[in-house]
Amino acid sequence: MGLDRGDGWWRRAVIYELAVVSFQDSDGDGKGDLAGLLQRTDYLTWLGVDAVWLTPIYPSPMGDFGYDIADFRAVDPTFGTLADFDRVLHALHDAGIRLILDFVPNHTSSEHPWFVESSLSRTGDKADWYLWADGAANGGPPNNWLSRFGGTAWEWSEARGQFYCHTFLTQQPDLNWRNPRLQEALADVMRFWLDRGVDGFRVDASAVLIKDDLLRDNPPNPDAGKETPPPQRFTPVFTDDRPETMGCIEMLREVLDEYDGRVLCGEVQGKTDRIGHFYGSDKPRLHLPLNFALLDSQWDALSLQATIDAYFNALPKGAWPDWVIGGHDKQRVASRIGPAQARVLAMLLLTVRGTPFLYMGDELGKQRSPLPRESVQDPFEKLVPGFGLGRDPERTPMRWDGSEGGGFTAGKPWLPMQDHRSCNVEQQQRDERSLLQLYRQLIELRRKHPCLVDGDYQPRRARNDVLCYRRCQGQTRMSVGLNIANEPRQWPCGGGIRLISTHLDRAVEQVEGPILLRANEGIVVIEAL
């Protein structure tokens, strides 16, 4: 197929996040690897996605799903070698699919050589590559900052005689972004992978790269209650989304822009009205600050209407929108809205204006997989139990068929595969009306009709549980009606040619308005002029 290196490709792309460890095992050790991913590139081509984003594949002790990186310029032996990575990259490019890597600039593993050296002395070459501070007057931590995984964000180093900051696990020390030499080292890491041909990065924890230089205490969270997880009992005013962080992101973008046709996505935090902050103005920042608004919205037509409107209103002029419906640390949306509305979500994701992101298994309607207590691996669940923060249920391996190992492995999977065996690729590929087939057809529809990519978004008033909007480009007007109710609803569309129904049981044909939408049905219509 070949690869289009044109700028702005990410505006047209459907981006598919996959965790290599849970995608396909090639050697029977129960963990997915790059050779396994290579075996499944035909599936990605069949589905029609334009880019894949890989969770970290770097050498790591794997204390936090590989986000504790011990070497930024290599591949963990669990996944293979750099040569395996190159083979995957070239195979994807040959298929016209781009590859985006996770980039983790906030912290490293405590086993990273940078940290080992920084820990030895206060005057060494890398002494200030991490966030070090003396203790409080009573000998305790420097302030009240909390780790996302519970407890203080400070850990004592006997060798250095100081505390180091860790926003996440104790074994994930935070880097000091105020050090120019550290910044240049991270820029060189980016160039290492860009020179190999990767098409961009998703920046992990991009909102927390800089912390308050005065180490001021965070104030109490006024909304905290009995149901609030302990790490959230303070409002992170002095640790999250500091103004200086924007300069860090601008530096990352400058490095990326040394190369043609690359994209910078980023994990951002805060409310919708803050997301525009991460696009930049005088200096560009992220191409795509990841937008999880659909995951956070109440699932009814009026709430969705408001969620979409608020997001579009928050975008700066010229900014390109995006929509994310799943991820390695987000609860499965199908578990919350149910299988019927998961089909409606698919149509919304692939017809609303903006770049769609989905996570492996979302196209199957994969739900949260309950795990026995002894199988839990996620530190969130281990260190902050009882609040439903565990992410293992989202990370269970992909089911390719209905066999015991799901076609994923010939060995024992690294996480139990306790989801329903019928939720697998092979079965849904055979079923012409499956959710997987719906995703494939919607992706193809989006590719055939540029209006669904580049067209203006025109909201219509949501009434009677029907969310609806138009996409308009030139003389083309396409209307989308989504029934959020579990019973039929009238949709006052003017009629035209119905292209697709979420039920996948209606032919392309002329329809007259108003249109009766069946329970949990969405349709796309090209309006008659």
Between strands 489-491 and 495-501, the pairing is unpaired
Between strands 456-459 and 489-491, the pairing is unpaired
Q: Among 204, 267, 392, 394, which one carries the catalytic annotation?
A: 204
Sign (positive/negative) of CA torsion 275, 278, 282, 285? negative
Question: For 181-226, what is each residue's pLDDT tens digit?
Answer: 999 999 999 999 999 999 999 999 999 999 999 999 999 999 999 8
Sign (positive/negative) of CA torsion 456, 458, 459, 460? negative
Question: For 440-456, what is each residue's pLDDT tens digit?
Answer: 999 999 999 999 999 99
113 membership: H or E segment, kind and range: helix 113-120
Q: How far is CA 139 from CA 144, 219, 231, 407, in A?
A: 13, 21, 22, 54
Q: What pLDDT band is residue 495 in, cutting at 50, 70 and 90? A: confident
CA gap 270, 153 in Å, rounded: 20
pLDDT at 7: 72
Question: For 385-406, what is each residue's pLDDT tens digit?
Answer: 999 999 999 999 999 999 999 9
Residue 184 falls in the annotated catalytic set: no
Q: What pLDDT band is residue 236 in, cutting at 50, 70 and 90? A: very high
| pLDDT, averaged across the chain | 96
Q: Work out the percent of the chain whose per-residue pLDDT is above 90.
A: 93
pLDDT at 520: 98
379 membership: H or E segment, kind and range: helix 379-383
- Segment 55-67 shows an average pLDDT of 98
Whether the pLDDT of residue 34 is over 80: the answer is yes
pLDDT at 225: 92
Q: How far is CA 215 from CA 122, 128, 169, 231, in A?
A: 19, 16, 19, 18
Residue 444 falls in the annotated catalytic set: no
Q: Which of 419, 428, 315, 331 is nearest to 371 (CA)?
A: 419
Whether the pLDDT of residue 241 is over 70: the answer is yes
Identify which of 55-59, 272-276, 525-529 has the greatest average pLDDT: 55-59
Question: For 420-430, what is each residue's pLDDT tens digit?
Answer: 888 999 999 99
CA gap 335, 368 in Å, rounded: 6
The amino acid that residue 284 corresponds to is P
Whether the pLDDT of residue 144 is over 90: the answer is yes
- Segment 324-353 shows an average pLDDT of 97
CA gap 226, 79 in Å, rounded: 41
Q: Work out the percent of the chain whose per-residue pLDDT is above 70.
A: 98
Whether the pLDDT of residue 352 is over 90: the answer is yes
Residue 385: exposure state from Cβ atoms within 10 A (0-12, 13-18, ≥19): middle
CA gap 485, 319 in Å, rounded: 33
Alpha-carbon dihedral 386, 388, 389, 390, rounded to 10 degrees? 90
Q: Among 4, 42, 188, 258, which one carries the catalytic annotation?
A: 258
CA gap 529, 526 in Å, rounded: 9
Between strands 51-54 and 98-103, the pairing is parallel
- Segment 451-475 shows an average pLDDT of 97
Beta-ladder partners of 175? 130
Return the percent helix, strand and coil in the chain, to nearest 5: 30, 20, 50
pTM of the model: 0.97
In the sheet with 200-203, reading across from the earlier edge strand, the strands are: 288-289, 263-266, 200-203, 98-103, 51-54, 15-18, 355-359, 322-324
> Domains plus CATH for the chain?
9-108+180-442 (3.20.20.80), 455-527 (2.60.40.1180)
Question: For 502-518, what is each residue's pLDDT tens digit?
Answer: 999 998 999 998 999 99
- Alpha-carbon Rg for the chain in angstroms: 24
CA gap 520, 393 in Å, rounded: 26
